[in-house]
Structure 1
């Protein structure tokens, strides 16, 4: 049975450890961070059911952390409780106006904290049950990404049934190809939603003994990509050194596919995509994917998350905006490092460090 997950953020080590131990004793699954930035790093690959956070902290305070979380679709509905020693008379009102669900003043009794936690979790559970939690993006985008490929399947099938004796062989083949492409688009959408939910529930296995040969995985993925992006083989320039990487081939191909597909979609047909890979040191392999497309603004980079898309209508995007986010989570859960540097109208560079197989892997 999955235990309720709580993220505790506080810069006081002794208090943090004491609260963690008490909550663990209450059968909660607790992770802790010493400031807002460390909490954000955790939230990139681990989703709690509730966040308890101090207000005054170095590096990044609680108010800034909450402000960032409220802009991330996959996180902004998580109950957020401020923990503070401040004695302002209007503190409760201020915390609630900032978007927190509650606050508790230090010192406090553990029964008081547990009571607040249980109350907020109960309310959050009702919200999850009354709204589908499978996908957190905009409803109209979700429906579009289901209905468009579904119509692309049902429409041609209906025409084939009604006109099977009138159609020429080339026309029938074109209908079959259209059905296949729409089916693959719908399948990809559904698989990404399922993967998102499984990652969120921590039900995806990451075996430390998994291994993939990175060049071979890239070449297999490249073939899949060109079935979608026809006649664009010349757009990808690659130089990838062979190496055994400590990640499953399924996950490595997913990373390649989503990141390269994004690079192709968000840059014009005249722009190339550069993919390079080499040993970074004795422990890591560095993979770099660079495009010269529309790029992200600094504000957009800070908001990348599940179901997050920017200027969808202007950029004519397909998909739910999950690929980049899910790839980033897989990299983090595989003990890798993900960085992204981008500038509007100049392009995006993604650098990934993945652990090398330093001993025999499966």
Structure 2
């Protein structure tokens, strides 16, 4: 049985270590951070069942951390308990109005903390079970992403059944291709949702001995992408050096597909996408994906998360907004480094440092 995961955030070292040890004795899986920024770094690849957080901390305080978490669709349902030594009559009310689930003042008894933790975890489990864990973001967007490819399958099938004697081979082939593309889109949507839930539950194992050749992974992905973006092969300019990366082939192709698909999707048809890759040093391979599309503002970059989309109606997005988020988590969990620089109406540059396989020599 998986242990309940708790993220403890406090800048006081002795108190943080004491609480952490006590919670571990109570059979909880605990990670600790010294401020809000360090907590956010953990949350990029490790999703807890509960967060316990001090209010007053350097770098990023607890209130700022709570605000960022509540603005993130993949994190905002996690129970959040404030822990503080401040003595203000209205502080508890303020914490709860800000979105915290509870508040406990220092000093406190461990039984009191455990009791609060148990009640909040029980509530969180009920919320997760009631939503079946299979729904992200706005309901109308979710339904659109299921119904559109489903109609793209059922519609052509109905036409084929009604007109099978009237259609020639070329027309039938076109219908089959349309059905296949819609089926792949639906499959991709469902697989991404399942993948997200498994990552959220920390149930995906990342084999440290996995390896794959990066140019081969790119070429296979490029072939898949242009089955969707038919006739747009010249839009990708690439120069990728061969190398063995410490990634599974599946995960590497997933990252390529999602990031290049986003770059194509958010750029006009006359704009190229530049993909380059070369060995950075003895430990890392540098991969860069650059587009000259609509870009993102600084505020939007700070809000990247599961199911997060920006101006969907204006930008005519397809998908649930999971691709970038999942790619980022895979890279982090595989000991890689992910950075993104973007500017509205100028484009986006994603730079990734992927660990080289230990037996690889350039």
Query: What band does the TM-score fall into relative to the shorter chain?
Result: over 0.9
1:4 corresponds to: 4
1:179 corresponds to: 179
Deviations 1:65-107 (A, max 9, x none): 0001111000001100000000001111010111100110011
1:55 corresponds to: 55
Confirm or deny: 8 A CA contact 2:208 2:246 kept in the other structure.
Answer: yes
Is 1:319 paired with 2:342?
no
Is 1:159 paired with 2:159?
yes
Question: Counterparts of 1:204 and 1:289 in 2: how far apart (Å)?
Answer: 26
- 1:1-362 alignment runs, 5 A limit: 1-359=1-359
Deviations 1:168-204 (A, max 9, x none): 2222112111111110110000110111111111221
Secondary structure (helix, strand or coil) at the match of 2:219 reads: helix
How far apart are 1:359 and its partner, in Å?
2.5
Deviations 1:29-86 (A, max 9, x none): 1111110001101100110011000000000000000001111000001100000000
Larger deviation, residues 303-312 vs 200-209: 200-209
How far apart are 1:241 and its partner, in Å?
1.1
How far apart are 1:360 and its partner, in Å?
6.7
Question: Counterparts of 1:40 and 1:52 in 2: how far apart (Å)?
Answer: 13
CA distance 1:169–1:359, change in 2 (3 Å) = closer
RMSD of aligned alpha carbons: 1.1
Confirm or deny: 8 A CA contact 2:136 2:320 kept in the other structure.
Answer: no
Question: Counterparts of 2:228 and 2:167 in 1: how far apart (Å)?
Answer: 25
Deviations 1:198-231 (A, max 9, x none): 1111221211111111111111111111111111
Structure 2 stretches of 5 or more lacking a match?
A: none
Question: Counterparts of 1:209 and 1:124 in 2: how far apart (Å)?
Answer: 35
**Aligned positions, number:** 361
Question: Counterparts of 2:360 and 2:226 in 1: how far apart (Å)?
Answer: 33
Confirm or deny: 8 A CA contact 2:243 2:360 kept in the other structure.
Answer: no
Q: Normalising by structure 1, what TM-score?
A: 0.98
Secondary structure (helix, strand or coil) at the match of 1:152 reads: helix
Larger deviation, residues 130-139 vs 306-315: 130-139
Question: Counterparts of 1:135 and 1:327 in 2: how far apart (Å)?
Answer: 19
Deviations 1:257-305 (A, max 9, x none): 1000000000011111111111111111111101010011111000000
Question: Counterparts of 1:273 and 1:167 in 2: how far apart (Å)?
Answer: 38
Q: Normalising by structure 2, what TM-score?
A: 0.98
Secondary structure (helix, strand or coil) at the match of 2:307 reads: coil
